[in-house]
Chain A
Amino acid sequence: MELTIGPNQFFWPTETWSAFYEGLGEAPVDRVVLGELICSKRLPFYQDRIPEALSSLAAAGKETVLTSLALVTLKRERKLTAELSEMGVTVEINDLTALPHLPKGLGFHVGPLVNVYNEGTLTWLASLGAKRICLPPELPMASVAALAHAGADLGVAIEVWGHGRLPLAISGRCYHARLHKRTKDNCQFACDEDPDGLEVRTLEERPFMAVNGVQTLSDSYACADYQIEALAAAGVSALRLSPQSSSFTRICQLYRDRLDGALPAGAIADEIRRSSPETRLSDGFLVGPSGASWSVEPAAP
C-alpha cells in the first residue's frame, strides 16, 4: 500500500510551510498533494513557494499533485480553480467546480471532499479521466470495499483517510473570525494562531471538534492502524496522511513501517499515545457506531 500526504489544511507561517515540504522529500511516502484547500485568502502568503516545493519533491522521487479549493464561490476563486492545471502537475479536485476546467483527456485525482459515495459516481468520474479517488472519510468499511472493487475494474486507485484530524464540514462563514468578533472579510488571519486548528469543547469540557477558519474538523485524529489489513484486503491502494504541525515525519515512518509489516497492528496507536497522551484517536467512520469512536476501547469520556 502507498502513502499519500494530503494538502495541509491549516494556515502556517510561510517558512514553516516551506520547511515542511522540504522535509517531506526525505519522508517514506509516495505522493504529496499540496496547495490551498480551505481558504483562498491564505494562498498569497505562500503561492510563490509552490513551484519550488513541487520541483524539489519531484526531484526526491515523489509524485506531486496540486489541490483545488474545497468550496469555490468568489470570482477570484473560480479563476484560481480554472488555472490550476497550468502548473503542469496532476490536479486533485476537491470541488467539482474544477472539473470543467481540466484539459480534456488528461487524468486527474479526486480528493476526499468530493462526494463519491457509490459506484455510479465513481464510474462517472472515471469516464471523465479520474485515476485516483480518495474517498470521503465518513464512508464505512463496506462502502470502501465496494468502491475499491469497482475502482479496480475501472483502473481507478482508491485511497482512504489514514491519519489526521477529519475534515467534517466547510462553510461560507469563518468561525475563527466570528470567535474574534470579526467578519470573514476582515478576519486578520485569526486562524494563524492555531496550527492544528482551534480546539472546541462541549459544555462538559470534553474535546469534540476543531475550528480552522471556514472548516470544522474532528478533535480526534483518525488512525487507520487497526484497519490496515482489512483495507488492504478490500483493495485499497493508498492511505492518506494529513499534515499536522508536530511529529509528522515520525507519523509517516510509523505508517510506512506498519504497511511494510515491520510493525504489528496497534504499534502506531501505542506510540502516538505514549509520545502524545492528550491525542485522542478514532476509526469510527470505518468500523464504529459513530465517527468519533475508537475500535480498541471506548472513546475517552
Chain B
Amino acid sequence: MEIVCPAGTPAALRAAVKAGAHTVYCGFNDETNARNFPGLNFDRAEMREGVEFAHAHGAKVLVAINTFPRAGSQSVWHRAIGDAQAAGADAVILADAGLLDYGARSYPELRLHLSVQAAAANADIINFYADTFGVKRVVLPRILSVPEIAAINAETEVETEVFVFGGLCVMAEGRCSLSSYATGLSPNMNGVCSPASHVEYIDDNGVLNARLGGFTIHRTAKDAPAPYPTLCKGCFSAGGQTGHLFEDPVSLNAEQLIPQLQKAGVTALKIEGRQRSKSYVAQVVRNFRAAVDALEAGTPLPEGMLARLSEGQAMTTGAYKKTWR
C-alpha cells in the first residue's frame, strides 16, 4: 500500500521523502488549500523544486487545492490547478464540483483526486465523480467503518485513500460550518478550522480557560497540559451533563488496522499533519513505511511503532470501528 504523507513546508517534503514516503501531499501558500496557516505551504518556485526533489527520489507529489473557490474569485483556484500541473504534480486533490469540472475540461492529462472535503461517502457518488470528471482516487471521509470501506471498494474502480494517523475530523468534512459560526473563518472558504487567531487562554484563579471566538470550550488546571480548543473536541454542557459532547481531544491512530484496510481494498494510507514539524513527519513516515513494508513482506507489523508519538496523547481508531458512532 502507498503511504501518503503531509508536507507543510519544503523542508518537511524533503524529510518525508527521505524517510520513505511513497507520496507527499502539499499545497500553495494561499487560501486554495485546507491548511492555510501562516508560515506553511509552498510558493510556486518551491513547488517546482519540491516536485523535482520528490521525483528524483522516486516519490510522487499531490497538490491539494481543496477549498471551495470564492464566488467572483475563481481564477485564483483555476490558476492553482494550472500551476500545479506546470510544477509537475502527479495529481491535484480537489473538492469543489465546479473546480473538478474546470480541471477535467482544461487539463485532461492531469490526474484528479477527490478530496476528503467532498465528503463522498458511498459508491454511487464516487462512481459519479469518476464518470463525470474522470476522478481516479477518492479520499474517504473519516465517518466510515472498515466494512463500509470494503463495500465501497467492491463497487468502484476508483482508488480509495483513507486517513490512518493524525487529527480526527468527526463531522463530514467539507460540510461543517462550526468554525465559521464561532469565528467567521471556515475550512471550506478560508482553509482553516478553529483558527489560532481566535484562540484565547485566560487564567481564572489557577484554572486555564480556553476560548475560541469568545466561547469557552475548555478548562484545565493551571499546570495540566491544555489541549488546543478545536470546536468539535471542546467541552460543553448538554442534557445535564458536561463533557466532550462530540469527541474527546484524541487523535486518529489506525496503525493496527492497516492489514484490515488492505483487505478492504484500500490503495493508499494518508497521514494527517501538514502543520507538523519535519522531524515529526519523518518519524511518522518511517514508522508507517516500515509497517506497510512488513505487510508486503508478510512479516508481523512492528509493535508499538508510534509509542513515542502517542505518549501522553489519547488515540482512537475513530469511525473505523462501528461502535464509535
CA distance A168 to B117 in the complex (A): 15
The reply to whether the CB of A249 lies closer than 8 angstroms to some CB of chain B is: no
Interface size on A, residues (CB 8 A): 73
Question: Which of B45-53, B184-192, B254-262, B272-280 forms contacts with chain A?
Answer: B184-192
Contact of A201 among B121, B171, B237, B247 (CB under 8 A): B237
The reply to whether the CB of A291 lies closer than 8 angstroms to some CB of chain B is: yes
CA distance A77 to B121 in the complex (A): 11
A77 to chain B, nearest CB (A): 8
What per-residue 1/0 map shows which CB atoms of A19-32 lie under 8 Å from chain B?
00000000000000
The reply to whether the CB of B57 lies closer than 8 angstroms to some CB of chain A is: no
The reply to whether the CB of A18 lies closer than 8 angstroms to some CB of chain B is: no
* A179 and B245 in contact, given A168-B176, A169-B172 (Cβ under 8 angstroms): yes
Contacts of B170 in A (CB 8 A): 171, 173
Q: In the complex, how many residue pairs between chain A and chain B have their CB atoms under 8 Å apart?
A: 219
What per-residue 1/0 map shows which CB atoms of A109-124 lie under 8 Å from chain B?
0000101011111111
B237-A200 in contact (CB<8A): yes
B177-A138 in contact (CB<8A): yes
Contacts of A216 in B (CB 8 A): 171, 178, 246
B235 to chain A, nearest CB (A): 6
Q: Write the chain A residue with the least CB distance to B176.
A: A169
Contacts of B151 in A (CB 8 A): 75
Contacts of A292 in B (CB 8 A): 181-182, 213
Contact of B72 among A71, A77, A142, A174 (CB under 8 A): A142
Contacts of A170 in B (CB 8 A): 171-172, 175-176
CA distance A288 to B185 in the complex (A): 11
The reply to whether the CB of B226 lies closer than 8 angstroms to some CB of chain A is: no
Question: Which of B6-14, B216-224, B282-290, B297-305 forms contacts with chain A?
Answer: B216-224
A194 to chain B, nearest CB (A): 9
* A143 and B96 in contact, given A78-B122, A203-B219, A203-B236 (Cβ under 8 angstroms): no
B66 to chain A, nearest CB (A): 12
A202-B236 in contact (CB<8A): yes
The reply to whether the CB of B146 lies closer than 8 angstroms to some CB of chain A is: no
A121-B184 in contact (CB<8A): no
B125-A96 in contact (CB<8A): yes
* A115 and B174 in contact, given A198-B238, A208-B236 (Cβ under 8 angstroms): yes
Contact of A120 among B102, B175, B177 (CB under 8 A): B102
A sample of 25 inter-chain contacts (CB < 8 A) reads: A73-B148, A75-B151, A78-B124, A96-B97, A97-B121, A99-B125, A99-B128, A101-B124, A117-B70, A120-B97, A120-B102, A138-B181, A139-B71, A143-B72, A168-B178, A169-B172, A171-B246, A172-B143, A173-B143, A173-B319, A175-B246, A179-B245, A200-B236, A203-B217, A284-B184
Interface residues of chain A, those whose CB is within 8 Å of chain B, are 70-73, 75, 77-78, 81-82, 95-97, 99-101, 113, 115, 117-125, 136-139, 142-143, 146-147, 150, 166-175, 177-180, 183-185, 198-206, 208-209, 211, 216, 218, 284-285, 288-292
